[in-house]
Amino acid sequence: MKRSQFLQRFYSPLPAAKLKLWPGGNITQKWADNPRLYAQWFGQKDDLSLAACGHSGIDIVTFHGDSIYACHDGKVSGIRTDRNSLGGLTVYVVSYLYNGEDKYEGQRFYSITAYAHLDKILVKVGDPIKAGETILGTEGNTGFVISGSTPYWGNAPAGAGTHLHLSWYERNEDKTPRFPNCMANSSDPLLVIAGQNPNFTGTRILLENLMGYLRAMQRKLEGFK
Protein backbone atom coordinates (compact mmCIF):
# COMPACT_ATOMS: atom_id res chain seq x y z
CA MET A 1 0.00 0.00 0.00
CA LYS A 2 1.22 3.51 -0.82
CA ARG A 3 1.27 6.25 1.80
CA SER A 4 -1.39 8.25 -0.06
CA GLN A 5 -3.70 5.22 -0.03
CA PHE A 6 -3.15 4.73 3.68
CA LEU A 7 -3.93 8.37 4.45
CA GLN A 8 -7.15 8.22 2.41
CA ARG A 9 -8.43 5.87 5.11
CA PHE A 10 -7.36 8.02 8.07
CA TYR A 11 -10.66 8.77 9.80
CA SER A 12 -11.83 11.03 12.60
CA PRO A 13 -11.92 9.19 15.95
CA LEU A 14 -15.17 11.00 16.83
CA PRO A 15 -17.25 10.81 13.62
CA ALA A 16 -19.96 13.20 14.82
CA ALA A 17 -17.47 15.89 15.87
CA LYS A 18 -17.07 19.00 13.75
CA LEU A 19 -13.32 19.43 13.37
CA LYS A 20 -13.29 23.21 13.70
CA LEU A 21 -12.21 25.37 16.61
CA TRP A 22 -14.65 25.77 19.50
CA PRO A 23 -17.24 27.32 19.62
CA GLY A 24 -17.67 26.80 15.86
CA GLY A 25 -16.63 23.17 16.21
CA ASN A 26 -15.47 20.54 18.68
CA ILE A 27 -11.72 21.21 18.80
CA THR A 28 -10.53 23.07 21.88
CA GLN A 29 -6.78 22.86 21.29
CA LYS A 30 -4.77 22.30 18.12
CA TRP A 31 -1.41 20.70 17.47
CA ALA A 32 1.48 23.09 18.33
CA ASP A 33 -0.79 25.33 20.44
CA ASN A 34 0.38 26.94 23.69
CA PRO A 35 4.13 26.19 23.56
CA ARG A 36 4.93 28.14 26.72
CA LEU A 37 2.53 26.02 28.77
CA TYR A 38 3.84 22.68 27.48
CA ALA A 39 7.51 23.64 27.47
CA GLN A 40 7.25 24.61 31.13
CA TRP A 41 5.29 21.44 31.94
CA PHE A 42 8.05 19.26 30.46
CA GLY A 43 10.89 21.36 31.90
CA GLN A 44 11.97 22.82 28.54
CA LYS A 45 13.26 26.25 29.47
CA ASP A 46 15.26 27.26 26.37
CA ASP A 47 13.94 30.01 24.11
CA LEU A 48 13.16 27.70 21.18
CA SER A 49 11.08 25.34 23.30
CA LEU A 50 9.17 28.20 24.91
CA ALA A 51 8.38 29.53 21.44
CA ALA A 52 7.62 26.37 19.48
CA CYS A 53 7.32 23.18 21.59
CA GLY A 54 3.54 23.16 21.91
CA HIS A 55 0.70 20.67 22.15
CA SER A 56 1.54 17.24 20.70
CA GLY A 57 -1.92 16.49 19.33
CA ILE A 58 -5.46 17.81 19.03
CA ASP A 59 -8.16 17.94 21.73
CA ILE A 60 -11.70 17.07 20.62
CA VAL A 61 -14.75 17.50 22.87
CA THR A 62 -18.13 15.86 22.40
CA PHE A 63 -19.61 14.25 25.53
CA HIS A 64 -18.53 11.98 28.37
CA GLY A 65 -18.78 8.35 27.30
CA ASP A 66 -18.84 9.00 23.55
CA SER A 67 -17.36 6.13 21.49
CA ILE A 68 -13.76 6.59 20.25
CA TYR A 69 -13.07 4.94 16.88
CA ALA A 70 -9.72 3.92 15.40
CA CYS A 71 -8.31 6.37 12.84
CA HIS A 72 -6.55 3.69 10.78
CA ASP A 73 -6.07 -0.04 10.34
CA GLY A 74 -3.49 -1.87 12.42
CA LYS A 75 -3.32 -3.40 15.87
CA VAL A 76 -3.26 -2.25 19.50
CA SER A 77 0.40 -1.81 20.35
CA GLY A 78 0.05 -0.54 23.91
CA ILE A 79 -2.35 0.44 26.66
CA ARG A 80 -1.84 2.74 29.63
CA THR A 81 -4.13 1.92 32.55
CA ASP A 82 -2.95 4.43 35.17
CA ARG A 83 -5.86 6.85 35.47
CA ASN A 84 -3.61 9.40 37.19
CA SER A 85 -0.83 9.47 34.58
CA LEU A 86 -0.40 12.48 32.30
CA GLY A 87 -2.67 11.06 29.56
CA GLY A 88 -4.78 8.91 31.84
CA LEU A 89 -6.28 5.83 30.19
CA THR A 90 -4.60 5.67 26.78
CA VAL A 91 -4.69 3.33 23.78
CA TYR A 92 -1.90 3.17 21.19
CA VAL A 93 -2.57 1.80 17.70
CA VAL A 94 0.23 0.98 15.25
CA SER A 95 -0.47 0.66 11.52
CA TYR A 96 0.91 -1.84 9.07
CA LEU A 97 3.86 -0.77 6.90
CA TYR A 98 3.15 1.32 3.81
CA ASN A 99 5.36 2.53 0.97
CA GLY A 100 6.77 6.01 0.68
CA GLU A 101 6.29 8.13 -2.44
CA ASP A 102 8.13 10.87 -4.35
CA LYS A 103 11.46 11.52 -2.61
CA TYR A 104 10.64 8.72 -0.14
CA GLU A 105 10.37 6.03 -2.85
CA GLY A 106 11.97 2.82 -1.66
CA GLN A 107 11.28 3.58 2.01
CA ARG A 108 8.52 2.16 4.15
CA PHE A 109 6.69 3.86 6.98
CA TYR A 110 4.19 3.16 9.70
CA SER A 111 1.93 5.35 11.85
CA ILE A 112 1.11 5.30 15.55
CA THR A 113 -1.94 7.04 16.98
CA ALA A 114 -2.52 7.66 20.68
CA TYR A 115 -6.00 8.15 22.18
CA ALA A 116 -5.75 9.67 25.66
CA HIS A 117 -7.93 10.68 28.66
CA LEU A 118 -10.35 7.80 28.02
CA ASP A 119 -13.03 6.85 30.52
CA LYS A 120 -13.02 3.17 29.51
CA ILE A 121 -10.74 1.00 27.35
CA LEU A 122 -12.54 -1.64 25.27
CA VAL A 123 -9.58 -3.34 23.54
CA LYS A 124 -6.44 -5.19 24.59
CA VAL A 125 -2.84 -5.29 23.32
CA GLY A 126 -2.56 -7.26 20.09
CA ASP A 127 -6.17 -6.79 18.99
CA PRO A 128 -6.56 -6.21 15.21
CA ILE A 129 -8.01 -2.79 14.42
CA LYS A 130 -10.18 -1.56 11.52
CA ALA A 131 -10.24 2.11 10.58
CA GLY A 132 -13.52 3.82 11.40
CA GLU A 133 -15.04 0.58 12.69
CA THR A 134 -13.22 -0.58 15.84
CA ILE A 135 -14.29 1.20 19.04
CA LEU A 136 -11.20 1.60 21.22
CA GLY A 137 -12.86 3.08 24.29
CA THR A 138 -15.00 5.95 25.52
CA GLU A 139 -14.32 9.65 25.94
CA GLY A 140 -13.40 10.72 29.45
CA ASN A 141 -11.29 12.98 31.63
CA THR A 142 -8.67 10.70 33.20
CA GLY A 143 -5.13 11.95 33.66
CA PHE A 144 -4.05 15.59 33.58
CA VAL A 145 -6.77 17.74 32.00
CA ILE A 146 -7.30 21.48 31.86
CA SER A 147 -10.89 22.57 32.40
CA GLY A 148 -12.91 25.59 33.33
CA SER A 149 -12.25 29.21 32.38
CA THR A 150 -8.61 28.97 31.26
CA PRO A 151 -7.12 30.34 28.03
CA TYR A 152 -6.22 26.79 27.00
CA TRP A 153 -9.60 25.14 27.46
CA GLY A 154 -11.84 28.05 26.51
CA ASN A 155 -14.87 26.98 28.56
CA ALA A 156 -15.48 23.86 26.50
CA PRO A 157 -18.98 22.38 26.79
CA ALA A 158 -18.40 18.89 28.17
CA GLY A 159 -17.31 20.08 31.61
CA ALA A 160 -14.67 18.77 34.02
CA GLY A 161 -12.06 18.43 31.28
CA THR A 162 -13.82 15.69 29.29
CA HIS A 163 -12.16 15.37 25.87
CA LEU A 164 -10.12 13.11 23.59
CA HIS A 165 -6.47 13.92 23.05
CA LEU A 166 -5.37 12.46 19.69
CA SER A 167 -1.68 12.29 18.76
CA TRP A 168 -0.21 11.02 15.48
CA TYR A 169 3.37 9.82 14.95
CA GLU A 170 4.88 8.66 11.67
CA ARG A 171 8.12 6.71 11.53
CA ASN A 172 10.42 5.06 9.03
CA GLU A 173 10.69 1.29 9.04
CA ASP A 174 13.86 1.64 11.16
CA LYS A 175 11.81 3.65 13.75
CA THR A 176 13.33 7.00 12.72
CA PRO A 177 10.73 9.82 13.07
CA ARG A 178 9.56 11.16 9.74
CA PHE A 179 9.19 14.63 11.27
CA PRO A 180 11.66 15.11 14.17
CA ASN A 181 10.58 17.90 16.52
CA CYS A 182 10.36 18.89 20.17
CA MET A 183 6.70 17.81 20.43
CA ALA A 184 7.63 14.15 20.94
CA ASN A 185 8.21 13.87 17.15
CA SER A 186 4.46 14.09 16.57
CA SER A 187 2.69 15.33 13.45
CA ASP A 188 -0.54 17.28 13.02
CA PRO A 189 -3.50 14.84 12.71
CA LEU A 190 -5.59 17.50 10.97
CA LEU A 191 -3.27 17.30 7.97
CA VAL A 192 -4.47 13.78 7.24
CA ILE A 193 -8.06 13.60 8.50
CA ALA A 194 -10.04 14.08 5.32
CA GLY A 195 -11.60 17.41 4.43
CA GLN A 196 -9.63 19.73 6.66
CA ASN A 197 -8.71 23.30 5.72
CA PRO A 198 -4.89 23.61 5.76
CA ASN A 199 -5.17 27.14 7.17
CA PHE A 200 -6.85 25.70 10.24
CA THR A 201 -4.22 23.11 11.07
CA GLY A 202 -1.60 23.47 13.78
CA THR A 203 1.13 23.44 11.15
CA ARG A 204 0.37 27.09 10.50
CA ILE A 205 0.61 27.74 14.24
CA LEU A 206 4.02 26.06 14.36
CA LEU A 207 5.31 28.15 11.45
CA GLU A 208 4.02 31.34 13.08
CA ASN A 209 5.63 30.36 16.38
CA LEU A 210 8.95 29.68 14.66
CA MET A 211 8.81 33.01 12.84
CA GLY A 212 8.18 34.74 16.17
CA TYR A 213 11.20 32.95 17.64
CA LEU A 214 13.42 33.98 14.71
CA ARG A 215 12.28 37.61 15.01
CA ALA A 216 13.04 37.57 18.73
CA MET A 217 16.51 36.12 18.08
CA GLN A 218 17.13 38.77 15.43
CA ARG A 219 16.21 41.53 17.89
CA LYS A 220 18.49 39.95 20.50
CA LEU A 221 21.41 39.81 18.05
CA GLU A 222 20.82 43.39 17.01
CA GLY A 223 21.00 44.38 20.65
CA PHE A 224 24.54 42.99 20.87
CA LYS A 225 25.79 45.22 18.04
What is the tens place of the pLDDT at every residue in 159-212?
567 899 999 999 999 999 999 988 889 999 998 886 555 556 777 777 777 777
What is the pLDDT at residue 48? 73
What pTM was computed for the model? 0.87
Q: How many domains does the chain have?
A: 1
Structural domain that includes position 171: 3-224
The string of pLDDT tens digits covering residues 46-61 is 777 777 788 899 999 9
The string of pLDDT tens digits covering residues 67-83 is 999 999 999 999 999 88
Long-range CB contact pairs, 155-161, < 8 A, 24+: 156/22, 156/28, 156/61, 157/22, 157/61, 158/61, 158/62, 158/63, 158/64, 159/64, 160/64, 161/117
- For position 62, which CATH number holds? 2.70.70.10
Asked if 190 contacts 31 with a C-beta cutoff of 8 angstroms, the reply is: yes
The mean pLDDT of 138-166, rounded to a whole number, is 68
The string of pLDDT tens digits covering residues 110-130 is 999 999 999 999 999 999 999
